Every structure is written in structure tokens, then in C-alpha cells.
């Protein structure tokens, strides 16, 4: 009886082992085919019609469909959140970023080795010592707005944007309207855009959204802003909630988003393929749906304002995405001294 029981136990163990092996093998096979790419999306400047993160997610989903077994995990971060993660020793495979955090990221990146389709002004912003450490894939820009009723014509606008202060009667009182307001941020260079157009910049410390609100309410004459307010203002005009405006684009932008590849990634070639994908015509032409701008020299807009902005950005002056905060601060200070001093630093 004991012999029969022992034989039954042996048969049971062999059978369960035989059944379990294919299951483990199948799981291991699935894991080996599964490639998870961690992409940090560090956001530091205003979007357009939709967020840059939402647009990037759509592009990543398309890439996943084209590459079976690939999943791109997008982690949306502010610059301060990204720095905190870096301080904790966290890592990524790809990182999308703009000016302000580039100096901190540079030691963690490996040069991009694929084809480059962007125009030279944008491409050079990601080059260090002859190597392409970051690849541009979208841009924003700066633009000046003024009510047409505030000017007899726009011949000298926006060069005269700092000299249009006026007065307005409000009830029984006469109030003074400042000439121009703009929003400021530590790591973006609105002041440089202003100085290159008007000869020098003014020191201001306004919130970007509040300047938009105050401009709509008629609290000052001119607004210097970005593609975000280009969208907001165009929608107000279209709906009849705002009178017509003159708009001019600044010949400078530092609002450029780049993608970099981590030196420690296990998926270098796949990461590089995704970076290259971001510059393809297929992807670049979708930027119009987001109210953002191409970096490869194309112009897919039909709207007059957007078309003009894309044309100007195709040849705009830009800066390195790897500027330190000290270098950014020096450019701001130079903009207050005047255009000639500023150009010396931008050269």
C-alpha cells in the first residue's frame, strides 16, 4: 500500500512539473519581448491650443503601434520636480526638456547619432563640442499685440512698443496706461525678445496669465507674450469678444523643446529611433493641432497669424538649451543695457 502511494506521489509531482514549465517559459518570453522606455517630459513654457504633454502622448502612442512590444511611459514633470528626482538618483531613458535644466541634464546624456532634419538655428541649440546631445522637435515663440484702435497704423510697431503709454478717462478720473507688459520667468528670455525688437528691455515682474487678463481688460496698451496668448486672443477676436489687433513676431525664441537620450539606457537604438521620429514630416505636421511650431523648416498653417509666426521661427535667433541659470541671468541683464550689448553675448 505504501509502495502504491509513493508511486502516485511521484506521478503527481512529475505531472505538475511538466505542466508548470511551459507557463514559466511563456511568461519569460513575454517579458523578454516587452520593452518599457521611461520618458521624462519636463515642461517649462506655455503650450498652445493643447498641452505639449497631450500632444507628445499622441505621438508616443503612434510610435508604440509601429513598434510591437514597445511601451513609452511618459512622466510629466516641472523643472523643480525633475531636479528633485535627479537628486534622488532616479533615471530615465529619454528626456524632453527646454532651457533651464539643460546644464543639469547634459552629463547624463549620450550624443544622438541619427539623421537631423531640423533647421540650423534649432539644431545648433542642442550641440555641445560638435556633438548633438539634444534634438529639437517643437518650438514656441514671442509675439507683440496691440489694439488697432490704439494706433493710426502699425508702421513702427512693435519697435515703438515701449513708447505708447497713454491716458484714459475712467468715470471722472483720468488714468495712465502703461505702454507694454509681459510675463517673466527665471529660465525664459522674454526680455531678450523685447530688447532685440525695441532696442532694450524694461525690468518687469508680472505673471504671464495675469498680463493676458489685464490686456484684455484694457489696462495697458501692448502685450508681449507667447503662442499661448496667440491662441487665446485669436479665439476672442473670432467670437467677437475683442476688437482686432496688430500682431508681430519677435525674431528670437528660446521656447524650444528638445529630446535627449540617457547614457545609461538599455534601449539606445530604440530611443534614438523615437527621437528621429519626432522630427519626421508625419509628426511635425501634427503640431498645428496643438498650436505649436515645427523645427524642420515647414509651414503647415493657413491662419495668417500662425503662418507668420512659423515663417519667423524658421529663421529666428535661438540659444543653447544647455545654458546655465547664470548664463540666462547674464543675457537678461544684457537686455537691459541695450541691443548691442546683448548681441555681443548672443553671437
Query: Of the ranges 4-8, 277-281, 325-329, which one carries the lowest mean pLDDT score?
Result: 4-8
User: Does 29 score more than 50 pLDDT?
Assistant: no
In tens, the pLDDT along 300-346 reads 999 999 999 999 999 999 999 999 999 999 999 999 999 999 999 99
Query: Which position has the higher pLDDT, 169 or 32?
Result: 169
pLDDT, mean of residues 200-204: 95
Peptide bond between residue 25 and the one before it cis (omega within 30 degrees of 0): no
Under a CB-based contact definition with an 8 Å cutoff, are residues 335 and 195 in contact? yes
Query: What is residue 32's predicted lDDT score, i.e. its pLDDT?
Result: 53
The residue whose grid cell reads 525695441 is 198
Q: CA dist 240 to 211, 223, 225, 234, 236, Å?
A: 20, 19, 21, 10, 6
| Percent of the chain with pLDDT strictly greater than 90 | 83
Please tell me the predicted confidence (pLDDT) of residue 204.
Answer: 95
- State the pLDDT confidence band at 11, using cuts at 50, 70 and 90: very low
pLDDT at position 14? 40
Measure the N-to-C terminal CA separation of the chain; round to a whole number of Å.
95
Alpha carbon of residue 13 to chain centroid: 59
Q: Which is more confident, 347 or 45?
A: 45
The candidate with the shortest Cα–Cα distance to 300, out of 315, 314, 286, 316, is 286
Residue 130 has pLDDT above 70, yes or no: yes
Instruction: Say how far apart CA 2 and CA 210 lie, in whole Å.
Output: 87
pLDDT of 321 reads: 98
Residue 304's pLDDT is: 96
What pLDDT is stored for residue 4 in this prediction? 43
pTM of structure: 0.88
Give pLDDT tens digits for 234-250.
999 999 999 999 999 99
Mean pLDDT over each residue of the chain, to the nearest integer = 90
Residue 19 has pLDDT above 60, yes or no: no
Q: Which residues of 157-178 are buried (b: 16+ CB within 10 A; e: fewer)?
A: bbebbbebeeeeeeeeeeeeeb
Q: What percent of the chain is modeled with pLDDT above 70?
A: 90
Cβ neighbours for 149, distance < 8 A, ≥ 6 positions apart: 243
**Residue whose C-alpha is closest to residue 99's, from 137, 42, 55:** 42
pLDDT in tens, 147-187: 998 887 778 999 999 999 998 888 888 888 999 999 999 89
- Give the pLDDT mean for 68-73: 96
284-306: pLDDT as tens digits: 999 999 999 999 999 999 999 99
pLDDT of 338: 95
Q: What is the pLDDT of residue 154?
A: 78
On whether the CB atoms of residues 95 and 107 are closer than 8 A, the answer is no
Using CA atoms, how far residue 60 sits from 65, 157, 266, in Å, is 9, 41, 18
Q: What are 131-143's pLDDT values in tens digits?
A: 999 999 999 999 9
Residue 271 pLDDT greater than 80, yes or no: yes
Amino acid at each position: 500500500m505504501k509502495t502504491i502511494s509513493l508511486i502516485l506521489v511521484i506521478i503527481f509531482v512529475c505531472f505538475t512539473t511538466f505542466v508548470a514549465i511551459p507557463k514559466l517559459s511563456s511568461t519569460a518570453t513575454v517579458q523578454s519581448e516587452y520593452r518599457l522606455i521611461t520618458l521624462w517630459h519636463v515642461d517649462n513654457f506655455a503650450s498652445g491650443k493643447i498641452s505639449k504633454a497631450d500632444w507628445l502622448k499622441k505621438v508616443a502612442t503612434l510610435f508604440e503601434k509601429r513598434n510591437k512590444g514597445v511601451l513609452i511611459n511618459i512622466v510629466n514633470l516641472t523643472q523643480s520636480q525633475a531636479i528633485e528626482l535627479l537628486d534622488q538618483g532616479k533615471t530615465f531613458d529619454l528626456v524632453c526638456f527646454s532651457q533651464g535644466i539643460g546644464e543639469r541634464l547634459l552629463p547624463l546624456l549620450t550624443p544622438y547619432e541619427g539623421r537631423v532634419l531640423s533647421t540650423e538655428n534649432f539644431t545648433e541649440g542642442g550641440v555641445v563640442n560638435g556633438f548633438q546631445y539634444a534634438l529639437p522637435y517643437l518650438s514656441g515663440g514671442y509675439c507683440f499685440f496691440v489694439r488697432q484702435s490704439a494706433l493710426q497704423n502699425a508702421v513702427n510697431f512693435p519697435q515703438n512698443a515701449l513708447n505708447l503709454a497713454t491716458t484714459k478717462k475712467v468715470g471722472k478720473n483720468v488714468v495712465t496706461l502703461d505702454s507694454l507688459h509681459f510675463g517673466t520667468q527665471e529660465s525664459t528670455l522674454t526680455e531678450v525678445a523685447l530688447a532685440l525688437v525695441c532696442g532694450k528691455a524694461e525690468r518687469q515682474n508680472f505673471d504671464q496669465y495675469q498680463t493676458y487678463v489685464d490686456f484684455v481688460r484694457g489696462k495697458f496698451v501692448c502685450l508681449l507674450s507667447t503662442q499661448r496668448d496667440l491662441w487665446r486672443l485669436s479665439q476672442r477676436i473670432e467670437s467677437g469678444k475683442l476688437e482686432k489687433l496688430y500682431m508681430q513676431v519677435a525674431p528670437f525664441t528660446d521656447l524650444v523643446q528638445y529630446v535627449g537620450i540617457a547614457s545609461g539606457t538599455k534601449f539606445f537604438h530604440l530611443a534614438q529611433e523615437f527621437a528621429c521620429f519626432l522630427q519626421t514630416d508625419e509628426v511635425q505636421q501634427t503640431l498645428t493641432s496643438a498650436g505649436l511650431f515645427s523645427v524642420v523648416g515647414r509651414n503647415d498653417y493657413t491662419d495668417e497669424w500662425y503662418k507668420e509666426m512659423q515663417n519667423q521661427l524658421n529663421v529666428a535667433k535661438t540659444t543653447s538649451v544647455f545654458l546655465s541659470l547664470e548664463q540666462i541671468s547674464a543675457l537678461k541683464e544684457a537686455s537691459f543695457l541695450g541691443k548691442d550689448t546683448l548681441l555681443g553675448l548672443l553671437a
